Each structure stands twice: as C-alpha cells, then as structure tokens.
C-alpha cells in the first residue's frame, strides 16, 4: 500500500544505479513523492524510471556527473521545470570502489574520490539551494558510511571512509548555515548493507575460500545485534523518513542503519 509520507514533495536523488540509489528512488515514489534521478549512466536512469514509474508521471531523470557544477544545476532545473520545485535532495552518488590504506595509497586517486564524495555532494546541494529556499524549507540527506567512524576489518577503504567522514563534518556546518532557511541536513550511515556491492563481496569471498555463500553472509550477520544484515531498502526507508516532514525537528544528526553492529 502506498503511503503519503512524501505526498506532493519532489526529491532529487543523485547516484541512481542498481543498488541503494534505485531503492531510494523507488521509496520516494512509493511514499507519494516525485523523484528526480541523476547519475552518469543514462541507461541506468531510464531503467529505474521505467520500473518505479511505468506511467511516466512521477519520475524524471537526467544524466548527471556531480563533479560538473553545470550538470548539477541542470538536474536541479529539471526538478523545477517538471514538478515545480525541490523539497529534498538525497546524495547517493559516491566513489566506493577504490580500496587500500595509507602505505599503498595513490593520492591522485584519493583526490578524485574526495572530488566525488565530498565536493560533488556539496556541488549538488548548492545547486538545489535556490529551489529549497523557495519552498521555505526542506531536507538534505547525505549518505555516509559506518566506515567513517569504525573501519571494517574485512576490507580497507581509507579514502572512501575519509571522504565520507569529511562529509559528515561538513553536515554540522551546513545544518547551522541553512537552518535559518528551515533547511535540515542529516546523514544516514549504512554498515554492511545487503545489496549489489555486498552481494558481490559475499560471492567473491565464497569463491576464494571455497565455502557456501550462506556461510560468508552468516559470518557477517553474526556481528550484528539483530540476526541479519540491513538491506538497501532498510536504508532507503531511513532516508525517506529524514526527507519527510516527520523529521522536521531533526538536523545535524547521523543515523546508523547497521542492524546494531556498532552502537553509539
């Protein structure tokens, strides 16, 4: 059953692919909103839009590279042209496929990771500000990572964790800066999240170790207070809550969605 949590609201979602971005976009439409989708790959956008909005009335999309300020502005303009404004922006777009620590770091690649995960997110936020202000308020939701506060032992993603940690720090400043305009800024911090990236990790590990995939997944789930992994859909539900008026007094906060692996 469709809920009305986002009824009449328009939400810009960056980084829409097969995983979390798709789930966020689907949740926006499910809960009554309009979804404006951005990502670098047009085919991914078209596929998601067709799946979540077969009639073509609730979703719009435009190929967008968030390292390009003009492309960010064009996505925001599409939201205003198609649906009359912007009520929330959700930042799923990220570079999370570079692995390693300090000793093997390629700092040129680190700079690219930071340009996407930190600066790209801020570019997209700034592009949406005029429309958010016209609504006399709104919501900005960053997707961070549990890795920014507790590095995983299974893989090294120092650049990714550092870039997302910087984004969480930026959230505090933005919450104060944009608060007078009643624009809220919050961060969702997923942990191990069952979706395409973690599925690929489980498949690779199972193949490498010669064990069943269920064994690898159960090994991960054993770390959680709840007896399973959170899913992309679980994270999307938290995002929708923060984007909605139900979270109207919440700003400058980080919400862990991790089945209780880490508590704070």
- Please give the average per-residue pLDDT across 146-156, as a whole number: 75
Give the distance between the most distant pair of CA atoms in the chain.
57
What's the confidence (pLDDT) of residue 239? 98
User: Which pTM value belongs to this model?
Assistant: 0.91
Identify the residue with better confidence: 25 or 104.
25
Return all residues near 229 (Cβ < 8 A) that are at least 6 apart: 192, 193, 194, 198, 217, 220, 221, 259
Task: Tell me the per-residue pLDDT of 168-187, one tens digit each, with 9 for 90 and over.
Answer: 999 999 999 999 999 999 99
* Whether the predicted pLDDT of 115 surpasses 90: yes
What's the confidence (pLDDT) of residue 105? 81
Report yes or no: 185 and 229 within 8 Å, Cβ to Cβ: no
């Amino acid at each position: 059953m469709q809920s009305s949590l986002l009824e009449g609201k328009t939400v810009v979602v960056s980084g829409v692919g097969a995983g979390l971005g798709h789930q966020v976009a689907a949740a926006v439409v499910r809960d009554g909103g309009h979804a404006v989708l951005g990502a670098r790959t047009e085919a991914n956008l078209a596929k998601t839009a067709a799946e979540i909005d077969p009639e073509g009335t609730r979703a719009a999309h435009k190929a967008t590279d968030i390292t390009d300020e003009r492309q960010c502005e064009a996505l925001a303009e599409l939201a205003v042209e198609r649906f009359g404004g912007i009520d929330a922006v959700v930042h799923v777009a990220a570079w999370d496929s570079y692995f390693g620590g300090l000793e093997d770091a390629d700092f040129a690649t680190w700079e690219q990771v930071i340009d996407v995960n930190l600066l790209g997110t801020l570019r997209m936020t700034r592009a949406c500000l005029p429309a958010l202000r016209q609504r006399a308020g709104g919501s900005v939701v960053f997707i961070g990572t549990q890795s920014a506060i507790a590095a995983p032992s299974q893989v090294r993603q120092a650049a990714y964790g550092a870039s997302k940690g910087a984004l969480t720090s930026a959230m505090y400043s933005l919450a104060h800066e944009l608060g007078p305009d009643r624009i809220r800024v919050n961060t969702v911090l997923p942990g191990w999240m069952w979706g395409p990236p973690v599925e690929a990790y489980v498949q690779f590990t199972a193949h490498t170790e010669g064990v069943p995939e269920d064994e690898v997944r159960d090994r991960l789930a054993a770390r959680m207070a709840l007896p399973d992994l959170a899913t992309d859909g679980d994270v999307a539900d938290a995002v929708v809550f923060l984007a909605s008026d139900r979270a109207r007094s919440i700003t400058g906060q980080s919400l862990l969605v991790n089945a209780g692996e880490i508590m704070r």
